[in-house]
Structure 1
Amino acid sequence: MIIFVNPNFSLNPPSLTRSPSKTPHKIHSYVISSIVSNTLKPRRRCDYYDLHKELIPYVEAWTWQKAIVKERKSLIEKQEDFSDTLIILQHQPVYTLGTGSSEEYLNFDVKNGPFDLYRTERGGEVTYHGPGQLVMYPIINLRYHKMDLHWYLRALEEVVIRVLSATFAIDASRVDGLTGVWVGDQKLAAIGIKVSQWITFHGLALNVTTDIAPFHQIVPCGIRDRKVGSIKGLPKFAPFEVFH
């Protein structure tokens, strides 16, 4: 099934502003700033939704993000936007296209694809999401950080590079002219974002124990001369398991 959605189309989610799951989840909040210039200002915080062990349908998480962004915009108008958000989860198998993606990068008939396919408002070309892939959706007001999209993309890459180095001793890097995080010629993390009124959504996907086979049905991110890899697929992590 393919569902092409107009980026301006808005859904009215029933109860997704707290959690997309039928079961409750603990929400962690972290203070990220405090008193500035001797003037007491409301502390900014980051609300963290940890769903990394769950398989969330893509459209459900997408709708949830848009609901949060809509709420954030209304809070900005009232000068009451005091928190950013980070959602971490896994998706059920799905292909997604960026707003300007070309169907020439699909190696299947869009009317009879192996998984659901959605055209979204994020940047970038086609990618795959599925079990074993850690997906992170930061919903951040860049007015309080740096109003520069290139800086934000590089910052997301840097987070992944540092985590891979510190946690797994993996020497990951960037590739000039390409967005994402690489080990050799294998892309371990893909990044695709949307920024509206300086509020970010969508984000990054890190292949941990991901089955790489579904990527063979597409040209991932429109890059033909490089491969997609996973942490588990690296030689020293062959028996690696993370989601337990």
Structure 2
Amino acid sequence: MMIMLGECCYFSVTKPQSLTINGHRRTKRVQCLSRSCELLDFHQELIPYEVAWSLQKDIVKEKKSQIENEGDCNDTLIVLQHPSVFTLGTASSNNNLNFDIKNPPFDIHRTERGGEVTYHGPGQLVMYPIINLRKHKMDLHWYLRTLEEVVIRVLSSTFSIQASRMEGLTGVWVGNEKVAAIGIRVAQWITYHGLALNVTTDLSPFKWIVPCGIHGRQVGSIKGLLKEAQSSCNNHDTAYLHHLDDDSLIHITHKSLIEEFSKVFQLEYHHKTISVPMLCEK
């Protein structure tokens, strides 16, 4: 497979450090180096679920080998969209399917990620971080909350949408509507699977399932939330967002996701390009 390296985006952080000079305590900011992260960006493509799933497992295998030989590995972030598909996590029950599993309306895959059943489809941005938690924080609850934080920041900074967590549940909510689902797998502290954010997604396929096994809650999207707020919006800085087409909303959301993810996880991206036809063929 031909792989080409592209341009890089750099993000760094600073931390305060206290010093004592001539008896006076001073604080200076010391630059901290970010970890390197390969970015596989397919956000404008519809990548079949089984292709992305296989790619993740191949990368995880490579990183495990690299850690055994070198003690560490670079992190990787995959961003894409999927054609319509249902995926089942390790906790999934067929009772949460509103169809005959032998005759599903879309392809269905039972996976090793945590969580219940969910839907992926066009207009939904999916992020698959494959990172070495040994070099971040070896705490799965911290990792889940940090993924939620990325989405919460995106909604607030880019769309002036105030999102939150729901106590006892995983994901990101705006009122009673869940806009982002999270399901992960961690093997030897290497993460894979990840989060899915509804941007311009057709939400009707969610009627075929009980999303994430949660009864009595709704599923929302950024497009839908902007439409609901259009008549009452007093924020002139974001008023233009209400008139953007689907492609533009995807583009803006994707850019914000990449930026916020890099800041939260303190990562420096190196764009890596893989031919989509060759990826699917492989």
Common topology (TM > 0.5): yes
Aligned partner of 1:178 in structure 2 is 169
Stretches of structure 1 that go unaligned for 5 or more consecutive residues are 1-14, 19-23, 34-41
Question: For 2:78, what is the secondary structure of its paired residue?
Answer: strand
Call closer, same or farther: CA 1:51–1:26 in 2, change over 3 Å: farther
Distance 1:104 1:227 in 2: 18
For the 8 Å contact 2:126–2:194, the answer to whether it is kept is yes
Aligned partner of 1:118 in structure 2 is 109
Aligned 1:1-244 pairs, distance under 5 A: 15=1, 26=6, 28=8, 44-79=35-70, 81-234=72-225, 235-236=228-229, 239-240=243-244, 241=246, 242-243=249-250
> Which deviations, in whole Å up to 9, do the C-alpha atoms of 1:171-190 show, x marking residues without a partner?
00000000000000000000
Given the two structures, how large is their TM-score scaled by the length of structure 2?
0.72
Distance 1:213 1:48 in 2: 31
Call closer, same or farther: CA 1:72–1:109 in 2, change over 3 Å: same
Given the two structures, how large is their TM-score scaled by the length of structure 1?
0.83
Instruction: Compare the two structures and name the one with the higher helix fraction.
Output: 2
| Equivalences, count | 216
What displacement does 1:123 show? 0.2
What displacement does 1:32 show? 6.8
Call closer, same or farther: CA 1:29–1:194 in 2, change over 3 Å: farther
Question: For 1:72, what is the secondary structure of its paired residue?
Answer: helix
Call closer, same or farther: CA 1:70–1:28 in 2, change over 3 Å: farther
For the 8 Å contact 1:29–1:45, the answer to whether it is kept is no
> Which deviations, in whole Å up to 9, do the C-alpha atoms of 1:67-111 show, x marking residues without a partner?
000000000101253310001000000000002311110000011
What displacement does 1:225 show? 1.1
Distance 1:60 1:150 in 2: 28
What displacement does 1:217 show? 0.2
Question: For 1:46, what is the secondary structure of its paired residue?
Answer: strand
Question: For 1:174, what is the secondary structure of its paired residue?
Answer: coil
For the 8 Å contact 1:29–1:47, the answer to whether it is kept is no
What displacement does 1:30 show? 5.0
Q: Rg: which structure is higher?
A: 2
Stretches of structure 2 that go unaligned for 5 or more consecutive residues are 14-32, 231-241, 252-282
For the 8 Å contact 2:73–2:132, the answer to whether it is kept is no
Distance 1:232 1:206 in 2: 11
Matched letter for residue 213 of structure 2: G
Say what the alpha-carbon RMSD is for the aligned residues. 2.2
Matched letter for residue 216 of structure 1: K
Question: For 1:78, what is the secondary structure of its paired residue?
Answer: helix
For the 8 Å contact 2:118–2:209, the answer to whether it is kept is yes
Distance 1:78 1:29 in 2: 28
